[in-house]
Structure 1
Amino acid sequence: MADNIILIGFMGVGKGRTARALASQTGRFAVDTDDLLESMVNKKIRNIFANQGEAGFRQLEQKVADWLEYYVRGTIVSTGGGFLKVRNLNRLGRVIYLHSTVEDIYHSICNHPNVKKKIKKRPLLTDLKQAEKLFRERLPLYRKLADIEISVKGKTSLERAEEIASYLRD
């Protein structure tokens, strides 16, 4: 297993912000799987979904996961909400599940200064019943795959990063 730190969790939970805060604390690089995927095919995720559907998108996520497994070490990796479906997740590094409820995620996004941009990036959150259904389906998988679970409720990115760093030192 690589010495990466892999952050998983539902869309909008703050994986990217937490990764950047943790990188700042640890001196590691932080990368985002969605950014890597978009760079790999030079397309936005919403366009990939529109043209190739979810199955095509998941194939590209697996390609990113394979690349991470073979070439990336000592890095903090924030993932897309469905990245937990890749076959080799636990070989990529130590998996940390950032947990929150859909309701709390939605309220956090709605209170963000760039709320329109945040919602546009996560169109599934416009249908909270559908988002909640997907969350319930994924929750047992997130927990099964995780080495560590962190609740994000009421914590800043810095506080989450400090909690993760304390687990990593133990």
Structure 2
Amino acid sequence: MNNIILIGFMGVGKGSVAREIVKQSEMIALDTDDVIESMENRKIKKIFAKEGEAYFRALEHKVALWLQKEVSGTLISTGGGFFKVPNLSEIGTVVYLSAPFETIYQRIRAHPNAKSKLRKRPLFQDIDKAKKLYEERAPLYKEAADIVIDVSGKELDEIAGEILQKVRQDD
């Protein structure tokens, strides 16, 4: 089991960092939300709208069991709540991408596709609720992580390099 699992709040850049790690390493990448959308043949937003959050979390758990059993040598970027799966540490080295809420929110708003980015994140529709959720989750992410990387003010290549270096130190 030599997977790297990226966790952190929605919009922190897990997917972007994953793509950069792939460029800098021999790893392939997988996104848990993409796997769920493929399994269900529908978008996360529609799953949340029709089935609710509990159903979605059950899908994450199913994906986590599959990852633990079947996936190796892979960079895994996750949805914002994936860190709650009970077997997270059995899947690989858990890396928490950390940034203040305002940094994350400004990053999303500054993105060329900001409206689309906000629309596809069901839990980000109400900023006050999103901030409250961030405040609840931040200490839990840190607790679940083997490695914490503050991504504030850093370029993608710098973040990816730091992750690869720390993961290799832990091996």
TM-score range, shorter chain: over 0.9
- Partner residue in 1 for 2:21: 22
The corresponding residue for 1:86 is 85
Q: Provide the secondary structure at the position in 2 that maps to 1:77.
A: strand
Counterpart Cα distance in 2 of 1:31 and 1:156: 21
- Please state whether the residue corresponding to 1:98 is helix, strand or coil: strand
CA distance in structure 1 between the aligned counterparts of 2:3 and 2:158, rounded to whole angstroms:
20
Q: Select between 119-128 and 130-139 the one with higher mean Cα deviation.
A: 119-128
The AA in structure 2 aligned to 1:97 is: Y
Question: What residue in structure 2 maps to residue 169 of structure 1?
Answer: 168
Give the unaligned 5+ runs of structure 1.
none
- Matched to 1:47, the amino acid is K
Percent identity over paired residues: 55
1:44-71 alpha-carbon deviations (Å, 9 max, x no partner): 1111111111000000000010110110
- Scaled by the length of structure 1, the TM-score of the pair is 0.96
Offset of residue 90 of structure 1: 0.5
Structure 1 residue ranges, 4+ long, deviating more than 4 angstroms after superposition: none
Q: Which residue of 1 aligns with 2:52?
A: 53
CA-based RMSD:
1.0
What is the rounded CA distance, in whole Å, between the counterparts of 1:119 and 1:51 in structure 2?
A: 19
Secondary structure of the 1:149 match is strand
CA distance in 2, matches of 1:64, 1:120: 24
TM-score by length of 2: 0.96
- Distance in 1, matches of 2:125 and 2:37, equals 23
Structure-1 separation of matches of 2:124 and 2:47: 19
Task: State how many pairs are aligned.
Answer: 169
